[in-house]
Structure 1
Amino acid sequence: MLNKNLIAILIFSTILVPGFAKAQDLGGGEDVDSFESEVGKSAPKMENSAAAKNYDDTPDKNTTDFKGLANLAPFQEISIIQKRFMPKTGRFELFGGGTIVTNDPFFNTMGGVIKAGYFLNETWGVELNYFGLTTSERQSTTELETNNKVSTKSLAFPKSFLGADVMWVPVYGKMTWFNNRIVPFDLYLSGGYGMTEVSTGESAGTIHVAAGQIFSLTKSVAFRWDFSWNFFSATVRNEDTDGNFLGNSTNSFNNLFLTVGVSWFFPEATYR
């Protein structure tokens, strides 16, 4: 009986073992492969020496390029990154200097100039101007009267000017002084209206325009120069060569002033 049972078990085992092995070949291998692929994904990847060498020898392609920074919104709001040597915002200016008329062929006119201004910001300001002038005849004018009997009574010249301007400062820059120091400067334009006391005795309405530069020597003192142009009309007396009165006429005049002097800014400079 035992031998029959043993023989039956051996036969049954002979039939099942090949089927189990075939099942492993068909399905079990996929499970093993999946397990190995998952382990491979989580394992750290090692670079070979050739790849490491190429990495060291090749320039870094991720180097930051700063060319586009100027287009960023915060940078567009910055007009000047470096602080001004002598800021003008909220400060007063007093100017004193001398002037001369450069375009009058008949008279030598010169005098003193006083200016008082206030700057609302670094670009805009307002200013009062006073010109006190003295005039003498040129030699050519004297010769016209003495030698040629030509009357110069119809010629007029300014005795003083008082006016108000609006100042616009569009340019701020720096220049070298004989390679010894850097001198900051402002280039400005101004225009306004005033009154000119004329040699004929009247006060004439005058259009005043100017262009010049302010060179900062310290935070409070600056050298300043400008060209200013005055346009006005005045009534003059007309006479013949014998001095007989022929009547009055209104003539137009313009004076080109070259002004040079020193400015003082106050209160003490504070940076924004």
Structure 2
Amino acid sequence: MRFLLLSLLCLVPGLARAQAEELENPGTVSAVQDRLFRMQHELSLGVGVLPADAYYKGLIGTVGYAYHFSDTLAWQVARGTYSYNVQTSLRRQLERDFDASPVSAAFQNQVQWMVGSDLMWSPLYGKTSLLNTNVIHFEVFLLAGGTVVKVDRSDGFRPAVNLGLGVRVFSSKNVSFRLDVTNNTVFMGASDITNVPTLQIGTAFNFGATE
């Protein structure tokens, strides 16, 4: 009996200490805040460049429409891009000093316009503070789709696969701003593949969604 009482007296401080630790550390509680801005019908207008070709640089304008099924998945139903092309100094030098023909095959891959459609997946949405004064809501999205590209060649309609990455910054429930970096892999022929990267900024107008 005496041994049992001594054992209980030894256990009491340990039990009290465990209860105190439970009160001090009730456990980890995690909460995910609902996103503030949602989208449904998106009309986008953008400007940008085709920077990669050595013989020309394209100044582009793009208009597009996207339908958002959910916060993470959307279909960019249609996008159209027109390119105003400016010859580079390299091309002018080749034509001037080496009598390169303006209609040579090397110069016939200039993009005139593109039309296409993409799936958009937005796996990342968040918010951050700018200089501890403003809260910025943003999302990161991926693009994958197909494009028809019109180049300078007389038979210049070419298919392409479009892949890209974008960032959207929300201004309000109706307006957001996009940065799109994409690459169209254009199939010029049986063994001729050309990459047409684009860098574009734009404004998107959202209709039909709620905060």
TM range (shorter): 0.7 to 0.9
State the TM-score, normalized to the length of structure 2: 0.82
Shift of 1:183: 0.6
C-alpha distance in 1, partners of 2:32/2:57? 47
> Is it true that 1:228 corresponds to 2:179 in the alignment?
no
Shift of 1:220: 1.3
Q: Is the 8 A contact 2:148 2:160 kept in 1?
A: yes
Structure 2 residue aligned with 1:186 = 139
Residue aligned with 1:60, SS? helix
Structure 1 residue aligned with 2:26 = 65
For structure 1, which runs of at least 5 residues remain unmatched after alignment? 1-54, 71-79, 236-248
1:154-209 deviations in Å (ceiling 9; x for gaps): 13111111111011111112233333211110100010012001111321011111
C-alpha distance in 2, partners of 1:208/1:83? 31
Q: Is the 8 A contact 1:134 1:159 kept in 2?
A: yes
Shift of 1:60: 3.0
Greater helix share, 1 or 2?
1
C-alpha distance in 1, partners of 2:209/2:142? 25
Structure 1 residue aligned with 2:61 = 112
Match among 164, 167, 170 for residue 216 of structure 1:
170
For structure 2, which runs of at least 5 residues remain unmatched after alignment? 1-15
C-alpha distance in 2, partners of 1:110/1:258? 10
Q: Is the 8 A contact 1:112 1:132 kept in 2?
A: yes
Query: Kindly, what percent of the aligned residue pairs are identical?
Result: 19
Shift of 1:59: 8.0
Shift of 1:265: 0.8
What is the number of equivalent residue pairs in this alignment? Answer: 191
Runs of 4 or more consecutive aligned structure 1 residues displaced over 4 Å after TM superposition? none
Question: Structure 1 residues 210 and 61 mapped into 2: Cα distance closer, same or farther (>3 Å)?
Answer: closer
Shift of 1:61: 4.2
Match among 72, 82, 94 for residue 144 of structure 1:
94
1:94-124 deviations in Å (ceiling 9; x for gaps): 1001020121111021121011101111111
Structure 1 residue aligned with 2:35 = 84
Structure 2 residue aligned with 1:133 = 83
Residue aligned with 2:38, SS? coil
State the TM-score, normalized to the length of structure 1: 0.64
Structure 1 residue aligned with 2:207 = 266
Q: Is the 8 A contact 2:147 2:184 kept in 1?
A: no
